[in-house]
Structure 1
Amino acid sequence: MLLCAVLAGALLFLDHRYTWMDQVRAEASTLVAPIQWLVSLPAEGFSWASMTFSTQRSLVEENRSLREQLVLLSQRAQRMESVSAENARLRALLKATPRDEIPYLTAELMMLDNDPFIQQMIVNRGAREGVYVGQPVIDASGVVGQVISVSRYTSRVLMISDPSHGVPVQIVRNGLRFIVQGGGGPEGLVVQNVPNNADIREGDLLVTSGLGGGFPQGYPVATVVSVQQNPNGPFARVEAQSSAQLDRSRQYLLLFARDAIAAHELVPLNQEALDAAIRVASVAQAGD
């Protein structure tokens, strides 16, 4: 036990003083990747068995539910088509540059960290697929977190519910910008430094603001669930619930947003678009 304690202390000292320990950690993660894969086999086997031996009735009910969702999503897609067409016409009017789609990589959950004070997980994609540190991770409902370390075959993701993680967000309703920090639970989040007189309400949707370059703009992060004024201080306590299914999702998307954000920041101001906007504003003012 004493030998293990001395060895752990030495490793902590080396990790703190020398950057080459990052490469050692990555190689060690590569070596234990087969063990992580073996540990995940029982869960995958149970999922396969439950799918294989499911009853016909459950399959019929699931099929009916999926058909209803398909109809709903088709209706939403039709509305989005009209909105996208209108947006394209407005951008053509202003001669603005169309926004490019952000490339992504699918990933699956392999393992969750057992430490109750750390909200981290390991996914089955690594440096071999081009994953990089700081890469945003989302699921079907919203932002999940960011990649914090990468080995050849796997990556470690810090979830937004971790107390050490912060996301720049803005309110969809009015555009106010804040920082959302993890609350340590599976879904609980805290909106930091909200003034008592700020226009924030229960039910407000918080999306990524795009500031800081970590996350692209417009992805759902959380919904405000509680706003408590603080009569003894300048800031209110605002709690939010994560939009992502942090305690249930197993499939994720890793967004290659770094190049897209850099390209967007390098786009120069379009003078023709600025002149067109001034002309449109002048016509609207003359009509009033």
Structure 2
Amino acid sequence: MQLSSPPLFKQGTPAFIKLAACLLVSLALMVIDYQYKALGDVRSIASYLLTPLQSVMLLPRSAIQGTYDYLTSKGSLEVQNEALVKRVAELTLLANQSESLMSENAQLRQLIGIKDQSRFKILISQILYSPSNPLSQRVVIDRGASDGIKESQGVSDHQGIIGQVVRVLENRSEVALLDDRDMVIPVQVSRNGTRGALYGNGRGRPLELRHMAALNDLQVGDVLMTSGIDGVYPPGFPVATIEKIDRDIDKNFARIHCTPVGGVNRFRHVMILFYDSGFGAKPAPPENNKPANNKSNSLYRGKS
């Protein structure tokens, strides 16, 4: 089928004449519209009639644009959310580390203060790890024989006594904590001077002040201090507080449970106490030229 030209451009009249006529008509309409605003109503009606058609024609474009914006926004939000989660985790870690460092710094300041005030040598040490032995409560510190550490030396933190050195290597030492089953420390009640022996009962169990009469003047909340009679611990260091007293009047017996004052299993730094109960005095020579009995002053009951 052969297509024919529109009537306006049919053969007969030259094409440039028809084009010129169209241009003149267009210019005339433009001038009339500009001078007299004659086509304003026509334009308004045409715009009103064509608006629904324009909206329908724009629906595919709007749908594509909306889908693209949604997917872009969702992807961007997921990336931002992932970055924020990582940042929150980093800030939380830094905050926890900062809090730990502040606590450790405060403890070290207190240890240094005690070191400056003490009348005997104190060596600050760091806890390295705790041996995996469920039957004992011990820790390993980073000081040993090369630092002058010896067995039976007392170990403390800035709050109170926490244990005793029981094994010494060249650059390491093993410390038995207060709640170790083989630990026993001679103590004295700070309120009235009553003496006794404080025993460890194992992991997770309270300390026990044993061999005390039921009618002894002891109260819940009394502070137990080192008595110094064993020659291992300097006198006057806090050890524990009385938490519970069960008195058996018929048997003249009291079961006394205590809580450690020191930060057992809490702090990373401790003090090793170089205490000399004789304050440098030479021991008296043995009588009848018999060799002196060189037994340790420690009350630790376990084998090193």
Residues matched between the structures, number: 185
TM-score, normalisation: structure 2: 0.55
- C-alpha distance in structure 2 between counterparts of 1:218 and 1:192, whole Å: 20
- Cα 1:186–1:56 change in 2 (3 A) is closer
TM-score, normalisation: structure 1: 0.57
8 Å Cα contact 2:243/2:257 also seen in 1: yes
Q: Deviations over 1:205-258 (max 9, x none)?
A: 001011111110000100000001114422100000001111212100001113
Note the C-alpha offset of 1:141: 1.2
Letter aligned with residue 215 of structure 1: Y
- 1:256 has 2:274 as partner: yes
- C-alpha distance in structure 2 between counterparts of 1:189 and 1:207, whole Å: 14
- C-alpha distance in structure 1 between counterparts of 2:123 and 2:91, whole Å: 30
- Cα 1:230–1:248 change in 2 (3 A) is same
Q: Which residue is 2:167 aligned to?
A: 149
- C-alpha distance in structure 2 between counterparts of 1:189 and 1:113, whole Å: 21
Residue pairs, 1:184-223, within 5 angstroms: 184-186=202-204, 188-223=206-241
Q: Which residue is 2:57 aligned to?
A: none
SS of residue matched to 1:115: coil
SS of residue matched to 2:123: strand
What residue ranges of structure 1 are gaps of 5+ in the alignment?
1-52, 78-98, 268-288
8 Å Cα contact 2:127/2:269 also seen in 1: yes
Residue pairs, 1:51-200, within 5 angstroms: 53-54=90-91, 58=95, 101-186=119-204, 188-200=206-218
8 Å Cα contact 1:123/1:154 also seen in 2: yes
8 Å Cα contact 1:220/1:243 also seen in 2: yes
CA RMSD of aligned residues (A): 3.2
8 Å Cα contact 2:136/2:203 also seen in 1: no
8 Å Cα contact 2:223/2:240 also seen in 1: yes
Residue of 239, 245, 250 corresponding to 2:257: 239
Note the C-alpha offset of 1:54: 4.7
Flag the structure with larger Rg. Answer: 2
Which is helix-richer, 1 or 2?
1
Q: Deviations over 1:56-94 (max 9, x none)?
A: 9948x959x98xx9xxx9xxx9xxxxxxxxxxxxxxxxx
- Which piece of structure 1 moves more, 188-197 or 228-237? 228-237
What residue ranges of structure 2 are gaps of 5+ in the alignment?
1-89, 284-304
Q: Deviations over 1:168-215 (max 9, x none)?
A: 111111111110000212462000111000000000000101111111
Letter aligned with residue 233 of structure 1: K
Note the C-alpha offset of 1:114: 1.8
Show structure 1 runs of 4+ deviating over 2 A: 53-59, 264-267
**% same residue:** 28
- Which piece of structure 1 moves more, 106-115 or 170-179? 106-115
Note the C-alpha offset of 1:163: 1.7
SS of residue matched to 2:230: helix
- C-alpha distance in structure 2 between counterparts of 1:155 and 1:228, whole Å: 37
